[in-house]
Amino acid sequence: MADNKNLMNRRDFFRKAAAVSVTALSGKSLLANELAEKGDPAIMHHTKWGQKWGDPVSVNLYGMPSAYEHNVTRRNTKLLASGNFRASIAVTPIHESQGIITPNGLFFSRSHGGTAHVDPDEYRLMIHGLVEKPIVLTLAELKRYPSVTRTHFIECPANGGQEWRGPQFNSVQFAKGFMSSAEWTGVYIKTILEDLGLKPTAQWMLAEGSDNSKMGRTIPVDKVLDDAMIVWGQNGEALRPEQGYPARLLVPGWEGNLCVKWLRRLEFSQEPWYCKEETSKYTDLKPTGKAIQHFYANEVNSTVTSPSPEIPWTDLKDGDVVEIEGLAWSGMGTITAVDLSFDGGKNYVKANLKGLVLSKSWTRWSYMHAYKKGEKLLLTSRAIDDAGYIQPTIDQEIGVMGVEAVYHRNAVETWEVTEEGKVNHVQIRSI
Amino acid sequence: MFKLEAYNKLLVSASVAAVVALSVVGCMDGGATPSGAATSIALDIDGGVSYPVVNNKTSDYYVNPQAIGAKINNGRVPNAAELAKWDTDLQPVTTLSPEGHGIPEGSGSVEDGETLYEAQCVMCHGDFGSGGGGYPALSKGNAVDLQKTLTNNRWKDPEADGPTRVFGSYWPQATTMWWYIRDGMPHPFSDSLSVDETYALTAYILNINEMYVDGEEVDDEYVLDRAKFLKIKMPNVDGFEPNIAGADVLPGVKAYFGKASNFGGLNLNQGAVRCMTDCQESTVKVRHILNGGIKDFLPPMNVTRDLPSKEVVALDIKKTYTESCAMCHDSFLAPGSGDWAGYTPKGIDKVYANGINGTEGGMPAKGGADLSDADFKTMVDYLISAKVK
């Protein structure tokens, strides 16, 4: 191509390259003829990175995402900025999530007194109360227990909790991103209790963090003896500080705040504790005036991630076959099916599960759709788990819970696809 | 070695009800059954499924059977002082525990509490606990009256008053407040208040919630101590379900969460087929986001893939000098600090220009440093002014 005068003019070339990429984004083909004649600049031109040395392997000894991915980040909002962003949450860009694992740097971050930075040498875990033998463990001693590795989501029970009275976030990151999923490595607490001997009167376990808020929660021993874990590994490396380095509780499927971070103490007792975050918060007020306390499991739930307000269909052409994709999850078991509605939940078709389907884990699902330019859709997904639970309609859920509950909202949610292919968050409800 | 038996005993001793095996949900209308799913389900305390270890597997995960029931015996027994240092939690007075747990001797007055509050709390929690600035309100008025607002629900009338959930109207136990003040407050300097200060702040918060203790008004003269604290009865103490107080309550908790209608869940009971056509209430409408909704996202939502705009980084003069200038200007290769009399007569602008553009066979443009013109000029000034040494 060196003899092509047009291509030799670099400035002109890049101006045209820019025009072509704008075209690609807008889905139009203004320069289609030019493209056919001269070829795609991305192919015809030598790339910036293809003719010079790349970085030596000694650069980025802990690897970072491509600089071009800088918009893929956790985000927060002033609405949820309590405590100068130290009793606050930064949520996961689930529209950018791949598969069923959230990278550690994007895992949603919630704390009640800021992110603590714990010196692993000074880390201690004390286990006491109604046990035959109380113990204190160093981090090395904790990690010497036989480990298990499991994939589980952690979800803040306030995921979707700002929208009991109507949709507020035109964003899947904020409407459903108060959750993430990872492969965790740690030890079952029941394994440690083999050493300690739980006394027969023990009914409850207090988990307490060493952070500024001394975050605490009470957990029934049924769950402790089932699958509750103390974890130190996350996606093959140590927990991040935001996730409770060096060790946190993991209570699979249950409210994220029960998975106490920077864990320093477990105490067993006959009666529960009434911690701040299990009475003043994380309780679901019903229209009867009574509030549900100790509301443990995040119930069966799902969302469409593509399309979404962040990933619209404005670039689709008539007849394009497109994959509608989403996530389903249940803290009460394993996803068995996901249904998809194109009319806001009146009629459903069965979507297809994809990849690994694990208990209390994100599960991928998808449905292939032939897009008709100008069609208006109301995309609603609905998941079912092996405990028999299915997502209710908004009317069904608020019929019992009212609209003041804040937590554990798992009714079906809907994206409106407009004629232009834009995607808006809507709710289908009677009141 | 394989002490499965011991583990089973542990389960039984902790009054965990035997797992209830149910036949697999046959009602799924052909819904996909995940590979490896158990053919029976056991219900957990949360109403969900638990996956007991069967043939060395729990759901899809293999487990090492040697690890079950193994005695590891790591760690050491903490001494009494260590236990006392960390065992700072409080538990309330109950039938089983008339003295509660961990409630220390001490006292504090409303008056002292107000002084402390004004000094250490008001900047976040507002005047008289009214809240603001992203921190919770501690009072909205009379606790007993406001407790009655808990049946308010804005589901039909969005303009109606909602329920008021603050300490006085909502919290079931005062131990929660005492414990959190001492261990978690003030938020930026937690774990800094004494027992008496904690009693004083608790007294002040009872006062602004217009509460009574054992028939006595918590007025401005009130002094709270341990004996009085044990008698606090919060207006909403019976406002929560399921019951968690007392012995052998876990089966009741399990029964509560076993019933979907208690918590707004929807369970396809065995044999039920889920609706696939014409499933909707006829009264529904499409509700859009009002007034643009909430969109003050930080950082703003953006899904483009490009290079970040360069941040303006403050110039670090000494670091830049060391990295980009010293190699020549601290040697015979180029004029050093204060050694510029022969170069400046043509005017400082000429020196700047030579430096910015570079000179033939001498100065590289900007010394090879990635600097703005303004920052580069600052570096030239630094070099000429003889401040380097």
Q: Name the residue among B153, B179, B287 with its Cβ closest to that of A427.
A: B287
Cβ separation B191–A214 shorter than 8 A:
yes
Mean pLDDT of B162-181: 97
Is residue A215 scored above 60 in pLDDT?
A: yes
Instruction: Give domain limits for chain B.
Output: 1-80+245-275, 97-229, 317-384
Is residue A34 scored above 70 in pLDDT?
A: yes
- What topology is assigned to B97-229 in CATH? Cytochrome Bc1 Complex; Chain D, domain 2 (1.10.760)
CATH code, A78-282: 3.90.420.10
Q: How far apart are CA A20 and CA A37, in angstroms?
A: 13
Cβ separation A429–B10 shorter than 8 A:
no
Which one, of A203, A197, A207, lies nearest residue A126 by Cα? A207
Q: Summarize pLDDT for B56-101 with one digit per residue, the tens.
A: 999 999 999 999 888 899 999 999 999 999 999 999 999 999 999 9
Closest CA of chain A from B119, distance in Å: 18
Q: What is the mean pLDDT of chain B?
A: 85
A:259-288 residues touching chain B, CB 8 A cutoff? 264-265, 267, 269-276, 279-280, 283-285, 287-288
Chain B residues with CB under 8 Å of A185 CB are none
Give the global pTM: 0.84
Is residue B35 scored above 80 in pLDDT?
A: no
Q: How far apart are CA A397 and CA A395, in angstroms?
A: 6
Chain A to chain B Cβ contacts (< 8 Å): 450
- Percent of chain B exceeding pLDDT 70 equals 86
Residue of B16, B74, B151 to mutate, testing the A interface (most A Cβ within 10 Å of its Cβ): B74
Mean pLDDT of B359-379: 83
Is residue B260 scored above 80 in pLDDT?
A: yes
Element (H, E) at A149: strand A148-155
Mean pLDDT of B298-303: 95
pLDDT in the model for residue B311: 66
Is residue A11 scored above 70 in pLDDT?
A: no
SS3 call for B341: coil
- Percent of chain A exceeding pLDDT 90 equals 86
Q: Does B263 touch chain A (CB under 8 A)?
A: yes
Q: Does B50 touch chain A (CB under 8 A)?
A: yes
Q: Is the Cα dihedral B332, B338, B344, B349 positive or negative?
A: positive
Q: Does B73 touch chain A (CB under 8 A)?
A: yes
Closest CA of chain B from A23, distance in Å: 15
Q: Report DSSP letters for B37-61, one per residue.
A: --SEEEE-TTSSEE---BTTEETTE
Is residue A262 scored above 90 in pLDDT?
A: yes
Q: Which CATH number fits domain B317-384: 1.10.1380.10, 2.30.30.140, 1.10.760.10, 1.10.3720.10?
A: 1.10.760.10
A301-426: in CATH 2.60.40.650: yes
Tokens of B337: 């600090």
pLDDT in the model for residue A176: 98
Is residue A18 scored above 50 in pLDDT?
A: no
A:387-416 residues touching chain B, CB 8 A cutoff? 387-393, 395-405, 408, 410, 414, 416
Pair type for strands B40-43 and B49-50: antiparallel
Model confidence at A390, pLDDT cuts 50, 70, 90, reads very high
Pseudo-torsion of CA A352, A355, A359, A361, nearest 10°?
Answer: -100
Number of Cβ within a 10 Å radius of residue B71: 10
Tokens of A59: 């650069």
pLDDT in the model for residue A23: 42
Which residue in A has a C-alpha nearest to residue B146's C-alpha?
A289
A135 and A168 Cβ atoms separated by less than 8 Å: no
A383 and A328 Cβ atoms separated by less than 8 Å: yes
B126 HSE (CA, 13 A, CB side): 13
Residue of A115, A145, A389, A413 to mutate, testing the B interface (most B Cβ within 10 Å of its Cβ): A389
Q: Does A306 touch chain B (CB under 8 A)?
A: no
Closest CA of chain A from B161, distance in Å: 11
Mean pLDDT of A284-302: 97
Cα-based angle A270, A276, A281 (whole degrees, multiple of 5) = 115
Letter string b/e over residues B96-128, b meaning 16 or more CB atoms within 10 A of that residue's CB: eeeebbebeebbbbbbbbbebbeebbeebbbeb
Mean pLDDT of B259-270: 89
Is residue A6 scored above 50 in pLDDT?
A: no
Q: Does A330 touch chain B (CB under 8 A)?
A: yes
A116 and A210 Cβ atoms separated by less than 8 Å: yes
Interface confidence (ipTM) of the complex = 0.91
Q: Does A431 touch chain B (CB under 8 A)?
A: yes
Closest CA of chain A from B164, distance in Å: 10
Is residue A22 scored above 50 in pLDDT?
A: no
Q: Summarize pLDDT for A233-255 with one digit per residue, the tens.
A: 999 999 999 999 999 999 999 99
Q: Summarize pLDDT for A131-188 with one digit per residue, the tens.
A: 999 999 999 999 999 999 999 999 999 999 999 999 999 999 999 999 999 999 999 9
Q: Does B13 touch chain A (CB under 8 A)?
A: yes
Q: Summarize pLDDT for A330-377 with one digit per residue, the tens.
A: 999 999 999 999 999 999 999 999 999 999 999 999 999 999 999 999
Lowest mean pLDDT among A62-71, A289-298, A320-329, B338-347: B338-347
Model confidence at B310, pLDDT cuts 50, 70, 90, reads confident
Which of the pair, A263 or B334, is modelled with greater confidence? A263
pLDDT in the model for residue B314: 81
Cβ separation B76–A136 shorter than 8 A:
yes
Mean pLDDT of B45-49: 94
Closest CA of chain A from B124, distance in Å: 8
Lowest mean pLDDT among A166-175, B27-36, B273-282: B27-36
Cβ separation A388–B180 shorter than 8 A:
no
Instruction: Give domain limits for chain A.
Output: 5-44, 78-282, 301-426
Q: Summarize pLDDT for A92-112 with one digit per residue, the tens.
A: 999 999 999 999 999 999 999
B:270-309 residues touching chain A, CB 8 A cutoff? 270, 274-281, 283-290, 293-299, 301-308
Tokens of A371: 């897009």
Phi-psi region of B161 (alpha: psi -120 to 50; beta: other; left: phi over 0): beta
Is residue A192 scored above 70 in pLDDT?
A: yes
pLDDT in the model for residue B335: 80
Q: Summarize pLDDT for B84-143 with one digit per residue, the tens.
A: 999 999 999 999 999 999 999 999 999 999 999 999 999 889 999 999 777 899 999 999
Q: Does B81 touch chain A (CB under 8 A)?
A: no
Q: Does B5 touch chain A (CB under 8 A)?
A: no
Model confidence at B350, pLDDT cuts 50, 70, 90, reads confident
pLDDT in the model for residue A13: 46
Residue of B5, B287, B290 to mutate, testing the A interface (most A Cβ within 10 Å of its Cβ): B287
pLDDT in the model for residue B316: 86
Letter string b/e over residues A250-287, b meaning 16 or more CB atoms within 10 A of that residue's CB: bbbbbbbbbbbbbbbbbbbbbbbbbbbbbbbbbbbbbb
Which one, of B142, B139, B120, lies nearest residue B131 by Cα? B139
Q: Summarize pLDDT for B212-235 with one digit per residue, the tens.
A: 999 999 999 999 999 999 999 999
Closest CA of chain B from A181, distance in Å: 17
Is residue B326 scored above 60 in pLDDT?
A: yes
Chain A residues with CB under 8 Å of B242 CB are 292-294
Number of Cβ within a 10 Å radius of residue B161: 9
Model confidence at B209, pLDDT cuts 50, 70, 90, reads very high
